[in-house]
Amino acid sequence: MAKAKRTLKWQRDPEGMRLRILEAAKQEFSAHGLAGARVDRIAAKAGANKRMLYYHVGNKDELYLAVLEGAYDKIRSEERGLDLEHLDPPEAIRRLIEFTWNYFLRNPEFLSLLQTENLARAKHLKKSTKVKSMHSPFVEMIRTVVRRGVDSGDFQVAVDPVQLYISIAALSFFYLSNSATLSVIFGRDLLDNKAKDERLAHMIGLVLAALTGQSAALFEVAKAPKSRAAAVQTV
Amino acid sequence: MAKAKRTLKWQRDPEGMRLRILEAAKQEFSAHGLAGARVDRIAAKAGANKRMLYYHVGNKDELYLAVLEGAYDKIRSEERGLDLEHLDPPEAIRRLIEFTWNYFLRNPEFLSLLQTENLARAKHLKKSTKVKSMHSPFVEMIRTVVRRGVDSGDFQVAVDPVQLYISIAALSFFYLSNSATLSVIFGRDLLDNKAKDERLAHMIGLVLAALTGQSAALFEVAKAPKSRAAAVQTV
DNA sequence: ACAGTATTTATCCAACGGGTTAATTTCTCC
DNA sequence: GGAGAAATTAACCCGTTGGATAAATACTGT
């Protein structure tokens, strides 16, 4: 009784509320896409009233854009924390692939949001000056790493850093974002631990083999006796 | 007058109608996703009445599944038409990459549909026994090509064919399906002809370099004089 | 303590959207 | 040539949904 009095009817918490709204919106948009997302569900998940969304962020589209900007902001921030410049080039590339893979694994909503935004042909992203100014540090990182690798003789090729960046992202992104349909097609779970480990090893092997020309050392199997090669490959 | 009499009010054409409905539905679902698609728009695009959709195909979900099944059917059919078994292994892989790239370019709705279905975690695909039974011939193709390549000494590695298949698809798929956001992020059009040519060359170079270990021959730039290497790379 | 403002709640509503019902027209086969 | 089935049209139904309005409640500074 006395307690009920202390917690009157509600407390003010604008910042907390805004964060809860954005978090709820992120979940809702990534789970259902833009058209499939329900404003009422976002409000409910945020423990709020629907009116609050409009008060603190804006209408559905503005809400969506805020979520998208937040997602880019987050990955850019983590990317900046990765220091690859001083590693030897093959190790730097390996770390880059591992980071990308793990980031996507840890943030599946990011993948969904990008898929959704691309379905919309980046209509919203184009309007966001904020995101346009958030350049990934990876392109320059890759450029210098590749240059160093070529100079040191580790790498055989001076590959376009943008292409390489896209390729590294692609190898992880597609596997994870399309794992649902791929798992059905192949009739096996691509997301169990064994499959994930194999995928990471494959991606690292593929990219490093291409750059260094040392296929043998990077994929498990080399030009070993054929019988053994056949045995080791995982299928 | 006499003519107007001949074309009374409408003609019967169940097969044609069904096809027009499915084509319209494909466009609508790929342009707007499942939740964003509008049944009325599909009807209008098909030059039909909304009731016709339900009469000839079913409700929205069934319509969507029919479209999805049609999309898989089409790509599997074209895949079967590709005969790579008798080519020498590097050439076979090159053709495989080119086919994948061009198929995705020619059928952007296929990409969108897959994105949409993955956003839905393959909920509909799982219910389709039809699609589950449509195995891609590429996995076995790749398996034998890789085996031949290893035996002949063209390839240094016996890579898992499923992994390679996914990787080849990934390199094209991600680039194209995410070209809208990537173009904004990089501030350049990834779909103009020059960019597309470069992308195809990059993908072929990457995969073949990894398999053969001959990076130099495959990417444009080798361990040439550094100044030249820097000049040639595109960025 | 109280006036003014920021924050939150409780309703409401008009448009939309998927789906249905019932009537109408064309075709086919006897 | 007409009866019955197949195909198509037109109109309607009703729950949902994004968004708006207005009133209530909790802070803040003075």
pLDDT value, residue A155: 94
The answer on B50 and B74 residing in a single domain is no
Nearest to A149 by CA among B79, B65, B134, B229: B229
Q: Are residues A204 and A158 in the same domain?
A: yes
Q: Based on the domain organization, do B137 and B223 belong to the same domain? A: yes
The answer on B219 and B143 residing in a single domain is yes
Query: How many Å is the Cα radius of gyration of chain A?
Result: 23
Task: Let me know whether B46 and B118 are in one domain.
Answer: no
The shortest CB-CB distance from B157 to any of A211, A221, A235 is to: A221
CA–chain centroid gap for A229, Å, is 34
pLDDT tens, residue by residue, A190-207:
999 999 999 999 999 999
Residues B185 and B225 in one domain: yes
CA gap B124, B103 in Å, rounded: 23
Residue A8 lies in a domain: no
| Judgement on whether residues A140 and A224 belong to the same structural domain of the protein | yes
CA distance A149 to A93: 10
Nearest CA of chain A to the CA of B35: how many Å?
Answer: 5
The answer to whether the CB atoms of A166 and B182 lie below 8 A apart is yes
- What's the ipTM? 0.90
Q: Which two tokens stand for residue B104?
A: 């995705």
Q: Pick from A37, A118, A159: which is nearest to B219 by CA? A: A159
Confidence label for A13 from pLDDT (cuts 50, 70 and 90)? confident
- Is B8 within a domain? no
The overall average pLDDT reported for chain B is 89
Integer Cα distance of B6 and B8 in angstroms = 5
> For residue B146, which of A215, A189, A183 has the smallest C-alpha distance?
A215
| Residue B105: per-residue pLDDT | 98
Provide the domain count of chain B.
Answer: 2
Q: Is residue B1 part of a domain?
A: no
pLDDT exceeds 80 at position B134: yes
Q: State the Cα–Cα distance between residues A83 and A136, nearest whole angstrom.
A: 13
Name the nearest CA neighbour of B221 among B209, B211, B230: B230
Which positions in chain B touch A216 (Cβ < 8 Å)? 156-157, 213
Q: Is the residue at A167 inside a domain?
A: yes
* Beta carbons within 8 Å of B216's beta carbon, 6+ residues apart: A156, A157, A213, B222, B223
Asked whether residue A150 is assigned to any structural domain, the reply reads yes
Q: Based on the domain organization, do A85 and A173 belong to the same domain?
A: yes
Given this model, what pLDDT does residue A219 score? Answer: 63
Contacts of A31 (CB under 8 A, 6+ apart): A37, A112
Q: State the CB neighbour count (10 A cutoff) for residue B135.
A: 13
What span, in angstroms and rounded, lies between the C-alpha atoms of A52 and A18? Answer: 9
Estimate in Å the CA B45 to C1' D1 gap, whole number: 38
Shared domain check, A43 and A113:
no
Q: Which tokens is A27 given? A: 């979940």
Does B118 reside within a domain? yes
- Identify the DSSP state of A28: H
Query: Distances in Å between the alpha carbon of B222 and those of A142, A157, B56?
Result: 17, 5, 59
- The CATH code of the domain that includes B150 is 1.10.357.10
Position B176 pLDDT exceeds 70: yes
Tokens describing residue A181? 């349909």
User: Tell me, what's the pLDDT at B68?
Assistant: 98
Measured CA A154 to C1' D2 distance, in angstroms: 88
- Give me the long-range contacts of A73-80 (CB less than 8 A, separation at least 24): A73/A130, A73/A134, A74/A107, A74/A110, A75/A103, A75/A107, A75/A110, A76/A134, A76/A135, A76/A136, A76/A137, A78/A103, A79/A136, A79/A137, A79/A138, A80/A137
How far is the C-alpha of B203 from the C-alpha of A18, rounded, in Å?
Answer: 43
Q: Is residue A6 situated within a structural domain?
A: no
Closest Cα in chain A, distance from residue B15 (Å): 29
Q: B27 and B109 in contact (C-beta within 8 Å)?
A: yes
Question: Measuring CA to CA, which residue among B137, B162, B146 is closest to residue B75?
Answer: B137
User: Which of B32, B118, B167 minimises the CB distance to A180?
Assistant: B118
Cα(B157)–Cα(B42) distance, rounded to whole angstroms? 49
d(CA B95, CA B92): 5
pLDDT tops 80 at residue A19: yes
For residue A198, with 0-12 CB atoms within 10 Å meaning exposed, 13-18 middle and 19 or more buried, which class applies? Answer: middle
What DSSP line would sit under A89-130, residue for residue?
A: HHHHHHHHHHHHHHHHHH-HHHHHHHHHHHHTTTTTGGG-HH
Whether A40 and A151 map to the same domain: the answer is: no
Mean pLDDT lowest for which of A107-121, B90-104, B219-233? B219-233
Say yes or no: A43 and A135 in one domain: no
Per CB-CB distance under 8 Å, the chain B contacts of A161 are 235
Tokens matching residue A121 = 């042909």
Q: Across the interface, do B210 and A212 touch by the CB < 8 Å criterion?
A: no
Domain span including residue A31: 14-58
For chain C, which bases have at least one atom within 7 A of a protein Cβ? 6-11, 17-22, 25-27
Position B157 confidence tier, pLDDT thresholds 50, 70, 90? confident
Per residue in B102-112, pLDDT tens? Answer: 999 999 999 99
The minimum CA-CA distance between A44 and chain B, rounded to whole Å, is 20
Residues A80 and A193 in one domain: yes
Assigned domain for B2 exists = no
| Residue contact B117–A169, C-beta within 8 A | no
Beta carbons of B150 and A119 less than 8 Å apart: no
